[in-house]
Chain A
Amino acid sequence: MKSIFSPTQSRAKRQRTGQGVSASQSHVPDWGSLPHHIVLHIFQYLSLVDRARASSVCRCWNDVFHIPELWRRFEFELNQPATSYLRSTHPDLIQQIIKRHAQHLQYVSFKVDSCTESAEAACNILSQLVNCTIKTLGLISTARPSFMNVSQSHFVSALTVVFVNSKSLSSIKIDDTPVDDPSLKVLVANNSDTLKLLKMSSCPHVSPAGILCVADQCHGLRELALNYHLLSDELLLALSSEKHVHLEHLRIDVVSENPGQTQFHSIKKSSWDALIRHSPQVNIVMYFFLYEEEFEPFFCDETPVTHLYFGRAVSKDMLGRIGLNCPRLVELVVCANGLEPLDEELIRIAERCKSLTAIGLGECEVTCSGFMEFVKMCGGRLSQLSIMEEVLIPDNSYSMEQIHSEVSKHLGRIWFPDMMPTW
């Protein structure tokens, strides 16, 4: 930045020392009369603090500082020194944005640390965004979900301010927040034509009826993320109605907090079928964080899931059913499994899931022969194959070295199992 701020100074210095006079003088631009669009361009890549400082250099730069384009995107970072290593957006800057640039904001996100005060500060800012036309709003907890600790009424009233005033929201990410049905109703009443993306995983105050209302009214919705308890046959049918655009992405989190206390319902095959008829290309992504014994209701019928992620141990039976009932499967990640090798299950998945292109195995066991069989069957279509070294059990047919060369041969590229440091 120095070179921009002090051209005359440095020229003066050079003249005094008598060096490079002729060269520098002919090249020194008049920084104050740079065209606005160039200054704007430069400003976009300055940190906010630098931008604010630069704006006090001259009238021209100050004019640029207030060009709306510069203020379309803003990320409020709210952290407390006691809970975060990262710095916050300066309070003066926040005030300035609210006062002078609120009407220009289009893409707004809030990143808050695990402290409740930070989340409250975010809500306070939200409730002041009255004259806005925000398109994208993201509330992001960077550590623990601190929005959940804000009083629900405070949170909801702040969020409603944006929902009511913006009227052209297209993308909203409000995972892990106390958003509720009435606030979703306000969202729908004001933004039903523009809403394209809604991410609201782990919002315990929303009911299936609340999300159904969104699906019924917002026909442009293309991406949706929610928890399994909000997923219903009605919801899938609503998303499959004629008026509705093709759904591109549906993400479902299946979470249980205590073993045996959550009963999981099942979804009818006809509802899934309706969704796939309506949106043949849709990605259906499911994240499972369940105990082994809770998997029973899932995948007993054909399910059009494309991406599967098992964050905890998954039962062998469940993996067996995936091979039988998930023909659209593209990507499979198994973080952990019991002690028995998964050979048969994997081979069945290779046989039946013809679109499978990516697989990741964490704490599981597969014999080297079983794994080789799996790789042979999938061949080059496996664009991503991430297996921990510990997963593979050497047997009489293959050693680890052989596995590396054989798998590389079948994939058509150099492949290694993932390794962790031996210390």
Chain B
Amino acid sequence: MAPNSIHWFRKGLRLHDNPALQEAVRGAGTIRCVYFLDPWFAGSSNLGVNRWRFLLQCLDDLDSNLRKLNSRLFVIRGQPANVFPRLFKEWEISRLTFEYDSEPFGKERDAAIKKLAMEAGVEVIIKISHTLYNLDKIIELNGGQPPLTYKRFQTLISRMDPPEMPVETLSSAFMGCCITPVSEDHSEKYGVPSLEELGFDTEGLPSAVWPGGETEALTRIERHLERKAWVANFERPRMNANSLLASPTGLSPYLRFGCLSCRLFYFKLTDLYRKVKKTSTPPLSLYGQLLWREFFYTAATTNPRFDKMEGNPICVRIPWDKNPEALAKWAEAKTGFPWIDAIMTQLRQEGWIHHLARHAVACFLTRGDLWISWEEGMKVFEELLLDADWSVNAGSWMWLSCSSFFQQFFHCYCPVGFGRRTDPNGDFIRRYLPVLRGFPAKYIYDPWNAPDSVQAAAKCIIGVHYPKPMVNHAEASRLNIERMKQIYQQLSRYRGLGQVLAISSGLELHHCYICYSLPLNSSWDIVPRKFSQFFGLLSQILHYAFISVYINLPHQDGNISVYIALNSCISANVFVLRKKFWLINTVTGYFLLASYIKNCPSNC
């Protein structure tokens, strides 16, 4: 008897390039496509109404595309682990397929379901199609550790085979004699719920700026490529006032929900580039948007604490301020900085903001002005941003707050100047903050500096109709730059003076400080391995001119390990020879690195 299959949709809400879905249909007698939705969870979840609407639209679109193949989508109310056993029995299922989920939470859930399915005698087929590459392969190529800089990531990618081609779209022909049994009461039992059913108040809800669904995604990718072909310029587009607004060619939410296959996008870009440029090898920068996403998925896949500061091995511990009132002002667009407030309003209303606008508000919340933890900002984005995937959201926040990925932290965006340079006229602000509409361009970014007469003429008194700025940006950025320096220069390098005080000479631009401690009770056989990991990491921060490594080794034997690791590191990469490189053992206080030092006398 031909098997009965279930294809389990999570992300990957599409019929094109869906290898797991193909596997479900191949040779099967029946196919049922399911999506799990827990209505109770919906009401209590922290996802905003825009995200839910987008998801429901995706499901609607999926259902109507399946209907064209005489099939339907089964939206199941409940939790997969509770419901699957019943479905397996009721539908006599022998095959379960789904798209591979690289995120730690997803991996755990899928492992449990897989076990459950195997126990019920159901074959499980999992296919990678949410990312371009098999992320584990990237990690393997990097010696078992996820790459921590984008450059390193690009290097690894360039050494790998190109991504696999997209598979063909599910069609009637492909379905063959595989059918979907649909009952009379399908819509009542398994129909896509409405927002109201999920407990959202939709009265006065403006129509979606970003309509969800595969059909929309495929229209958009054509427009996207047409525009690129027309411009014939494959550089990153420069930002201007227009790029701040939602664009009908924007794709990020569609990639997030998998309405659009990243591989389809990848190969369409490649084809177009070859056609227009008439050369065969496009640069990696062509795929920038896709590769950044891939980079963060890779960094997160083995790190269940990726969205936390505590216990996250790649996140620097920064003594952020806890300040719920300030956080609320930021999230509710009441900071008193029109540029920040307009962006946050756009985010809440539409669910999308330009990536440089994200930089602006993220910098303002964290290292730039408010000194509030990136975790808090990440949660707000999680609620509001359509394309906020767990990995990409957390990764970008760590990046923007200089908590990881070895960032230069002097790039602080000014909440006044940055916007003014992007949109000198201030139309973006007038669009999202109508209360400021009357201000002339000269004052629209810093209305608190406008004379009373200008405020009166604009019918907007600062402090009455629109808040005063919540911080003094100059003072805040001065303080925060110092705070950042404290964190990155925990140890003094001043000869003979205080052991405690961080005494900088010059600017922080130069220096990378690394502290590396081995726990006292770590057994010695793991030391060399730990160090080779550590030096693998070091080789990723080559762009620093000076690297000071402070190593806390609880035992003298450790020196030998450092020596071995460093030597292998040198033979592998000659980079160190060009850098000033200090290796300081803070415990035993002496070096066993004579031969290394001999190698580069001018530097040590």
Please give the residue numbers on chain A whose beta carbons come within 8 Å of chain B beta carbons, in ascending order: 1-4, 42, 44-46, 73, 75, 79, 82-86, 107-109, 111, 113-114, 135-136, 138, 140-145, 170-171, 173, 175-176, 196-197, 199, 201-202, 223, 248-249, 253, 255-257, 259, 283, 285, 287, 289-290, 306-307, 309, 311-313, 330-331, 333, 335-336, 338-339, 358, 360, 362-363, 383-384, 386, 388-390, 393-394, 399-401, 413-416, 418-423
Instruction: Name A358's contact: one of B449, B479, B510 (CB within 8 Å).
Output: B510
B414–A107 touching, CB < 8 Å: no
- Roughly how many angstroms separate A201 CA and B238 CA in the complex, as a whole number? 39
Chain B residues in 8 Å Cβ range of A336: 414, 417-418
A136–B520 touching, CB < 8 Å: no
B411–A335 touching, CB < 8 Å: yes
Chain A residues in 8 Å Cβ range of B449: 259
A197–B497 touching, CB < 8 Å: yes
B321–A114 touching, CB < 8 Å: yes
Closest to B471 in A: A144
- Roughly how many angstroms separate A223 CA and B235 CA in the complex, as a whole number? 47
Q: Known interface pairs A171-B501, A312-B474. Does A145 touch B387 (Cβ–Cβ under 8 Å)?
A: no
Q: Known interface pairs A107-B499, A171-B498, A313-B414. Does A85 touch B520 (Cβ–Cβ under 8 Å)?
A: no
- Roughly how many angstroms separate A201 CA and B396 CA in the complex, as a whole number? 33
Among A44, A199, A336: residue with most chain B CB under 10 A: A336
B498–A175 touching, CB < 8 Å: no
How does the 8 Å CB contact mask read for B467-502 relative to A, with 1 for contact and 0 for none? 000001111011101110010000000100111110
Known contacts A170-B497, A358-B510; 13 further A-B pairs (Cβ under 8 A): A4-B521, A45-B587, A84-B320, A143-B321, A144-B371, A171-B501, A199-B501, A223-B494, A335-B411, A362-B410, A390-B356, A401-B283, A416-B151
A363–B520 touching, CB < 8 Å: no
Instruction: Name B481's contact: one of A170, A311, A386 (CB within 8 Å).
Output: A311
Q: Known interface pairs A289-B478, A309-B410. Does A83 touch B323 (Cβ–Cβ under 8 Å)?
A: yes
Instruction: Name A108's contact: one of B410, B500, B521 (CB within 8 Å).
Output: B500
B323–A114 touching, CB < 8 Å: yes
Nearest CB of A to B396, in Å: 5
Chain B residues in 8 Å Cβ range of A422: 236, 288-289, 292, 355
B501–A362 touching, CB < 8 Å: no
Closest 10 CB pairs of A and B: A136-B498, A142-B319, A143-B321, A171-B498, A383-B545, A423-B355, A289-B474, A362-B411, A107-B500, A307-B506
B478–A335 touching, CB < 8 Å: no
Chain A residues in 8 Å Cβ range of B364: none
Count how many chain B residues have C-beta atoms less than 8 Å from C-beta atoms of the other chain: 78
Chain B residues in 8 Å Cβ range of A109: 500-501
B506–A306 touching, CB < 8 Å: yes
A419–B499 touching, CB < 8 Å: no
A335–B412 touching, CB < 8 Å: yes
Chain B residues in 8 Å Cβ range of A400: 235, 285
**Is B421 an interface position by the 8 A CB rule?**
yes
- Roughly how many angstroms separate A181 CA and B382 CA in the complex, as a whole number? 50
Please give the residue numbers on chain B whose beta carbons come within 8 Å of chain A beta carbons, in ascending order: 150-151, 235-236, 238-239, 252, 283, 285, 288-289, 292, 295-296, 309-310, 317, 319-323, 355-356, 358-359, 371, 373, 387, 392, 395-396, 399-400, 408, 410-414, 417-418, 421, 424, 449, 472-475, 477-479, 481-483, 486, 494, 497-501, 503, 505-507, 509-510, 520-521, 542-545, 552, 554, 578, 587
Closest to B474 in A: A289
Chain A residues in 8 Å Cβ range of B510: 331, 358, 383-384
Instruction: Name B578's contact: one of A44, A143, A413 (CB within 8 Å).
Output: A413
- Roughly how many angstroms separate A145 CA and B500 CA in the complex, as a whole number? 19
Instruction: Name A312's contact: one of B396, B477, B498 (CB within 8 Å).
Output: B477
Q: Known interface pairs A143-B371, A257-B474, A389-B236. Does A111 touch B319 (Cβ–Cβ under 8 Å)?
A: yes
A257–B475 touching, CB < 8 Å: yes
A138–B501 touching, CB < 8 Å: yes
A84–B497 touching, CB < 8 Å: no
A289–B477 touching, CB < 8 Å: yes
- Roughly how many angstroms separate A358 CA and B544 CA in the complex, as a whole number? 11
Among A73, A135, A249, A419: residue with most chain B CB under 10 A: A419
- Roughly how many angstroms separate A386 CA and B359 CA in the complex, as a whole number? 18
Chain A residues in 8 Å Cβ range of B392: 423
Chain A residues in 8 Å Cβ range of B358: 423
Closest to B392 in A: A423
Q: Known interface pairs A283-B506, A363-B417, A413-B578. Does A136 touch B501 (Cβ–Cβ under 8 Å)?
A: yes
- Roughly how many angstroms separate A285 CA and B504 CA in the complex, as a whole number? 10
B477–A388 touching, CB < 8 Å: no
Q: Known interface pairs A3-B521, A143-B371. Does A73 touch B499 (Cβ–Cβ under 8 Å)?
A: yes
